[in-house]
């Protein structure tokens, strides 16, 4: 029997302060205020449109803004605890990154477990996302890169290679790329990691046990303390877990390996 799978997409989305958009700021303020009045709350990448809901909203919005529907631009937006708005324009390539069937391990380094949010979607499936400020994410990436650099300085290259292959160098390079990307945005903005469709390939009964953010920092702590054997085991377990998720999401195996 042949099974056909739709790719599971996870994403990182960057929200900038609404006043950082120059001439576009007033447009996004009008958009956000109208959206909240229309729907009773902010937009979300987890939101679902039913029937002609989206078309009706677009008609009402274009009328409110005095624009043709073709001229209307959409965004996600959020508010901080003080009610300040942050905007992520939809379809912008500069403020988002997507991954197919897996979440890159370096993405988890940007967050801590206190920033986790578990949601319940219209489908009845649990969903997971994390959010933190851009400045905090940059600092965490820098801390992780320092730990990796310290490991390279303090331990024999052949030992590191035998325990971790090329994974530490790849992780360091990936974190550097993330820092370069984030540096182009206001540090007071937010970064949101959305597990997206990945959650569909984790058993609902064990989804609450998905703690990759905690696990990647446990690995880094072990590495920082010179516990290379222990760190190697932790990283291998994390890799195996996500390889199991990737395999199922891509249709290579029949059941999830995440417990």
State the Cα–Cα distance between residues 16 and 133, nearest whole angstrom: 10
Q: Judge whether 246 and 101 are in contact, CB under 8 Å.
A: yes
Q: Quick one: which H or E segment has residue 167?
A: helix 167-182
Q: What's the pLDDT at 127?
A: 84
Least Cα distance to 215 among 194, 238, 183, 181 occurs for 238
Q: Is the pTM of this model over 0.85?
A: yes
Structure letter (DSSP) for residue 37: H
State the Cα–Cα distance between residues 18 and 110, nearest whole angstrom: 23
Distance of CA 83 to the CA centre of its chain: 22
Least Cα distance to 258 among 194, 208, 197 occurs for 208
Residue ranges with strand state E in 9-153: 9-17, 75-79, 85-89, 96-100, 116-120, 126-133
Q: Quick one: which H or E segment has residue 115?
A: none
Backbone angles phi, psi at 12, to 5 degrees: -115, 130
107: Cβ contacts below 8 Å, ≥ 6 apart: 10, 12, 99, 178, 193
* Residue 157 token pair: 């290259």
Q: What's the pLDDT at 61?
A: 92
Q: Judge whether 178 and 184 are in contact, CB under 8 Å.
A: no
Distances (CA, A) of 34 to 80, 117, 215: 18, 26, 41
Along the chain (259 residues), what's the average pLDDT of each consecutive run of 10 residues? 65 97 96 89 63 84 93 92 94 94 97 88 70 98 98 96 96 98 97 93 82 97 97 97 93 52
Distance of CA 209 to the CA centre of its chain: 18
């Amino acid at each position: 029997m042949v099974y056909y799978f739709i790719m599971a997409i996870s994403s990182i989305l960057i929200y900038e302060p609404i006043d950082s958009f120059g001439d576009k700021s007033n447009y996004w303020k009008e958009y956000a205020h109208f959206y909240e009045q229309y729907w009773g709350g902010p937009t979300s990448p987890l939101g679902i449109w039913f029937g002609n809901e989206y078309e009706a909203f677009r008609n009402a919005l274009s009328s409110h803004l005095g624009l043709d529907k073709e001229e209307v631009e959409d965004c996600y937006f959020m508010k901080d605890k003080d009610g300040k708005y942050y905007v992520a324009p939809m379809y912008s390539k500069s403020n988002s990154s997507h991954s197919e069937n897996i979440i890159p391990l370096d993405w988890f380094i940007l967050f801590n477990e206190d920033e986790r949010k578990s949601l319940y979607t219209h489908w009845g499936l649990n969903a997971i996302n994390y959010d933190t400020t851009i400045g905090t994410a940059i600092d965490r990436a820098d801390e992780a890169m320092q730990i990796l650099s310290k490991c390279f300085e303090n331990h024999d290259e052949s030992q590191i290679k035998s325990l971790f292959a090329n994974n530490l160098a790849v992780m360091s390079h990936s974190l550097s790329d993330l820092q370069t990307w984030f540096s182009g945005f206001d540090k007071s903005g937010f970064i949101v990691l959305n597990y997206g469709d990945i959650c569909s390939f984790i058993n609902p009964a064990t989804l609450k046990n998905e703690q990759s953010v905690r696990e990647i920092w446990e690995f880094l702590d072990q590495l920082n303390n010179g516990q290379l054997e222990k760190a190697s085991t932790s990283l291998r377990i994390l890799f195996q877990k996500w390889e199991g998720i990737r395999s199922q999401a891509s249709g290579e195996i029949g059941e999830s390996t995440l417990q």
